[in-house]
């Protein structure tokens, strides 16, 4: 067998929010991978270490969880009044595909800093000290995101005292604005209702709020499915039967939302929609051992990503939570106490998160104008990733 040498591809490994991913500048990818297609997907899978039947991604940069099996491609923007285009690829762990159907809100926190450091933002727009406003075009969903990145002495400031539950160490705060986060191709509520009866053959019928804001998300009441809303990963992720039920519910929700035409399509669309369960504010002990008091939160939310309970909360799902909370009558709004609100603080397995959102009715349809949250990001390693030359 002929020896095939490895090739080197410039890349940066970054923590963004409660996720980690491998970031690339589009111009640094091998030429045939600079366009969508099988070659690009194969390269990214090999970088991450997928598909891995062992489920460990030992032979790649992935961390064997949905939060760490991620890739990002950034380029100078082709859109007017934007600095960069941001494309997110969620790499399946034990299957051979990359899901391009949605955004990663956590890694969004790192896009602005990566773009600045990579020379993709006009130098005239970067202050020597202060905040650099990076205008991001999110290509997966066709939406604008504004990242406010701190700059010190002309360079991105990564260290600071901002603490984010789910991340061990403090860092600099990055404020992110998701502009017009709802799907622009129809109602923010694809069924036309803020609450529906979701029929799931073999499982049951459940009240559900299905929303497309930030990322398509299906919310159900924790109590209706036998949970309290205070569960941690250890309470769910070893229960194969429970995870299978959630996946079935997610698939039928995707069908009802019009995201797929046939139930079988859900298996190849793992990234979207998300499924989450909500409950009124309840005291619990987070995964770090910290007590979350009921009085410190408006409600409890748990969400699944790529078939497993997330260790904290996905950034895009946080947008969905905040937007749903702002609309009277949704399950999230009711769990948070009902009424009008412009922000929600919710409890997740790692602690709490506050997200602001504004929603309004326009011509009888609910729409979201903006969602705002704080995250942090830090470069972990930069240089090159290596992959076998025949991997793509």
Catalytic residue numbers, as ranges? 104, 314
Number of alpha carbons in the 13 Å side-chain half-sphere of residue 134: 36
Q: How far apart are CA 161 and CA 155, in angstroms?
A: 18
Give the contacts of 266 (CB within 8 A, at least 6 positions apart): 247, 250, 251, 254, 255, 260
In angstroms, the CA 350 to CA 327 distance is 26
Length of the chain: 392
How many angstroms separate the CA atoms of 105 and 313, rounded?
Answer: 10
The pairing of beta strand 98-99 with beta strand 155-156: unpaired
- Nearest-angstrom CA–CA distance, 232 and 247: 18
Gap between the Cα atoms of 218 and 267, Å rounded: 16
- For helices 315-325 and 105-117, the axis angle rounded to 10 degrees is 120
Q: Are 132 and 117 in contact (CB under 8 A)?
A: no
What is the distance of C-alpha 140 from the center of its chain?
A: 12
Give the Cα separation of 214 and 210 in Å (integer): 12
Residue 308 makes CB contacts below 8 A (sequence gap 6+) with 65, 66, 233, 236, 237, 243
Residue from 374, 382, 281 nearest 335 by CA: 281
**Burial annotation 327-345 (CB, 10 A radius, 16+ → b, else e):** beebbbbbbbeeeebebbb
């Amino acid at each position: 067998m002929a020896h095939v040498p490895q090739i080197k591809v410039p890349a940066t490994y970054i923590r963004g929010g409660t996720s980690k991913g491998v970031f690339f500048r589009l111009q640094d990818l091998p030429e045939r991978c600079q366009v969508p297609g099988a070659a690009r997907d194969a390269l990214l899978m090999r970088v991450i270490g997928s598909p891995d039947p062992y489920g460990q991604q030992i032979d790649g940069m992935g961390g064997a969880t949905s939060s760490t099996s991620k890739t990002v491609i950034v380029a100078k923007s082709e859109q007017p009044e934007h600095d960069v285009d941001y494309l997110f690829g969620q790499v399946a762990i034990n299957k051979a595909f990359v899901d391009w159907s949605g955004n990663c809100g956590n890694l969004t926190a790192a896009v602005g800093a990566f773009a600045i450091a990579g020379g993709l933002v006009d130098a005239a727009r970067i202050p020597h000290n202060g905040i650099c406003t990076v205008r991001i075009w999110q290509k997966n969903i066709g939406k604008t995101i504004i990242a406010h990145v701190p700059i010190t002495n002309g360079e991105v400031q990564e260290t600071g005292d901002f603490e984010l539950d789910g991340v061990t160490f403090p860092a600099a705060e990055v404020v992110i604005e998701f502009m017009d986060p709802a799907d622009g191709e129809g109602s923010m509520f694809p069924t036309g209702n803020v609450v529906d009866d979701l029929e799931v053959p073999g499982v049951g019928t459940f009240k559900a709020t299905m929303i497309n804001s930030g990322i398509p998300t299906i919310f159900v009441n924790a109590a209706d499915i036998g949970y309290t809303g205070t569960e941690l990963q250890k309470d769910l992720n070893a229960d194969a039967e429970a995870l299978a039920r959630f996946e079935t519910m997610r698939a039928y929700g995707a069908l009802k939302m019009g995201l797929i035409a046939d139930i079988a399509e859900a298996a190849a669309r793992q990234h979207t929609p998300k499924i989450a369960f909500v409950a009124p504010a309840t005291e619990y002990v987070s995964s770090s051992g910290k007590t979350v008091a009921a009085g410190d939160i408006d409600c409890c939310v748990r969400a699944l990503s790529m078939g497993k309970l997330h260790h904290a909360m996905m950034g895009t799902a946080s947008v969905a939570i905040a937007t749903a909370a702002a609309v009277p009558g949704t399950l999230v709004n009711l769990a948070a106490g009902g009424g009008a609100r412009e922000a929600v603080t919710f409890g997740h397995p790692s602690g709490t998160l506050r997200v602001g959102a504004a929603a309004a009715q326009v011509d009888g349809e609910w729409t979201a104008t903006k969602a705002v949250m704080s995250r942090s990001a830090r470069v972990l390693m930069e240089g090159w990733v290596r992959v076998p030359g025949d991997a793509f």
